[in-house]
């Protein structure tokens, strides 16, 4: 194998998150504005062949794990074809999908057959009216059907992503924890992040994840920390309720950043490498595709500018930061 993708701080990057579209069928309050969102023209979006070419080169430098994101990846036609293409690349061991779950149930079998190994499904409320409000029109019953479909076709682990928001869903922590008691589901509570916001309103919705442990204590639930991580590539600190079939995890990008162990790079739908989710640095790959050496050099350049930390905690405290935060919305980056 060629040299590994290692940055200035010794972090080895073996994981690529690939956004296949910036479009979405929902308008979640923390991700996209209700209206006025400008999407990339189709001509600017990487083709499946271009994505596969980038992955082929990176696999020779040690990338083993992939995650397809968006926008909503299943808005893009024939994503099953891309999964199959990526599954054929030597060295790729794991292909995951992050989805809002609205379209997944009908495509679960085809995606599994193409080579999908794992899934994360966004589920920010279990209450139909509240889910519709947070997603601006989503139907929670379709998401629950997708969770059942993922179990049926044998995807494992199945992780449920919950962005905690003060006054919106923080009173459902107990309900989400109960989901893990009888089913092998893995809930991931995620702190609200200041990604691409043109205002500071996110602060008023921010909930520290210590609230989750507080709820466990209030209910008298014994909690066990998991030393063997639930399979995946994420930065979650994982726990389970005593006797539970599943688990819950805490992802604290703001209050307790995990930058020191970051192993990921991002490829946006319009072909930009993002070495860090939060900062504005980007490198477009399009002109380098077809030239393996030039493409690899571009990724190494991106690693050279990757900072030690994203400094989101400074944004929460309204302190000055060392780099320029991105102005792109989460849906434009791929999360």
What are the residues whose beta carbons fall under 8 Å from the beta carbon of 320, sequence distance 6 or more?
A: 314
Query: Please, are residues 268 and 282 in contact by the beta-carbon 8 Å criterion?
Result: yes
* Residue 325: per-residue pLDDT: 63
Q: What is the DSSP string of 102-118?
A: TTTGGGHHHHHHHT--E
- CB neighbours of 319 closer than 8 A, spacing ≥ 6? none
The answer to whether the beta carbons of residues 119 and 157 sit under 8 Å apart is no
Displacement of CA 260 from its chain's centroid (Å): 18
Residue 115 CB neighbours (<10 A): 17
The order of strands in the sheet holding 264-267 is: 223-225, 237-241, 247-251, 185-190, 158-163, 118-122, 94-99, 65-69, 15-19, 264-267, 272-274, 283-284
The pLDDT tens digits of the residues spanning 57-68 come to 999 999 999 999
What pLDDT was estimated at residue 198?
Answer: 46
Least confident of 100-109, 157-166, 312-321: 312-321
318's CB contacts (< 8 A; 6+ apart) are 200
The answer to whether the beta carbons of residues 181 and 141 sit under 8 Å apart is no
Q: What is the pLDDT of residues 128-157, one digit of tens each?
A: 999 999 999 999 999 999 999 999 999 999
Separation CA 324–CA 311 (nearest Å): 11
CA atoms within 13 A on the CB side of 303: 22
pLDDT at 143: 98
User: Tokens representing 223?
Assistant: 């909690």
Q: How far apart are CA 40 and CA 2, in angstroms?
A: 34
Residue 170 and residue 224: Cα distance in Å, rounded? 22
Q: Model confidence at 213, in pLDDT bands (50, 70, 90)?
A: very high
H or E stretch at 248: strand 247-251
Segment (H or E) for 332: helix 330-333
In degrees, to the nearest 5, what angle opens at C-alpha 305 toward C-alphas 44 and 233? 75
Q: Give the C-alpha separation, 105 to 144, whole Å.
A: 9
What is the residue extent of each domain of the chain? Answer: 15-333
Nearest to 55 by CA among 4, 84, 92: 92
Give 311-329 pLDDT, tens digit per residue. Answer: 554 454 455 655 666 666 6
CATH topology (fold) of 15-333: TIM Barrel (3.20.20)
Contact indicator for 25, 75 with CB cutoff of 8 Å = yes
Predicted pLDDT of residue 319? 53
Write the DSSP assignment of 155-224 as a string of letters: -SSEEEEEE--TTTTGGGHHHHHHHHHHS-EEEEEE-----S-SSSTHHHH---THHHHHHHHHHT--EE
The mean pLDDT of 6-15, rounded to a whole number, is 94
pTM: 0.90
C-alpha 197, offset from chain centre: 18
């Amino acid at each position: 194998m060629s040299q590994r993708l290692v940055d200035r701080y010794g972090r080895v990057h073996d994981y690529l998150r690939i956004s296949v579209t910036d479009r979405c069928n929902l308008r979640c309050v923390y991700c996209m504005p209700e209206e006025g969102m400008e999407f990339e023209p189709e001509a600017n979006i990487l083709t499946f062949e271009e994505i596969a070419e980038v992955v082929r080169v990176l696999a020779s430098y040690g990338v083993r794990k992939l995650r397809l994101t968006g926008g909503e990846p299943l808005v893009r036609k024939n994503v099953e074809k891309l999964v199959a293409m990526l599954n054929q690349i030597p060295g790729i061991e794991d292909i995951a999908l992050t989805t809002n779950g609205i379209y997944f149930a009908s495509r679960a079998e085809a995606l599994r057959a193409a080579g999908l190994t794992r899934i994360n499904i966004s589920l920010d409320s279990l209450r139909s009216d509240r889910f519709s409000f947070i997603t601006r029109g989503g139907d929670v019953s379709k998401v629950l059907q997708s969770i059942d479909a993922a179990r049926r076709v044998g995807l494992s682990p199945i992780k449920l992503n919950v962005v905690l928001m003060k006054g919106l869903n923080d009173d459902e922590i107990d309900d989400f924890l109960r989901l893990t008691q009888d089913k092998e589901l893995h809930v991931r509570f995620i702190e609200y992040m200041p990604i691409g916001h043109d205002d500071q309103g996110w602060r008023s919705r921010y909930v520290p994840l210590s609230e989750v442990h507080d709820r466990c204590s209030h209910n008298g639930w014994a909690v066990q920390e998991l030393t063997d991580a639930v399979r995946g590539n994420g930065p979650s600190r994982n726990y389970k309720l005593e006797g539970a079939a599943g688990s819950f995890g805490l992802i604290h990008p703001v209050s307790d950043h995990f930058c020191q162990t970051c192993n990921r790079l991002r490829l946006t739908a319009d072909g930009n490498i993002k070495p860090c989710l939060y900062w504005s640095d980007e490198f477009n790959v399009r002109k380098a595709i077809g030239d393996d050496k030039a493409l690899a050099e571009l990724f190494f350049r991106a690693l050279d500018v990757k900072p030690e930390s994203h400094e989101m905690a400074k944004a929460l405290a309204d302190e000055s930061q060392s780099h320029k935060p991105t102005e792109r919305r989460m849906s434009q980056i791929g999360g």
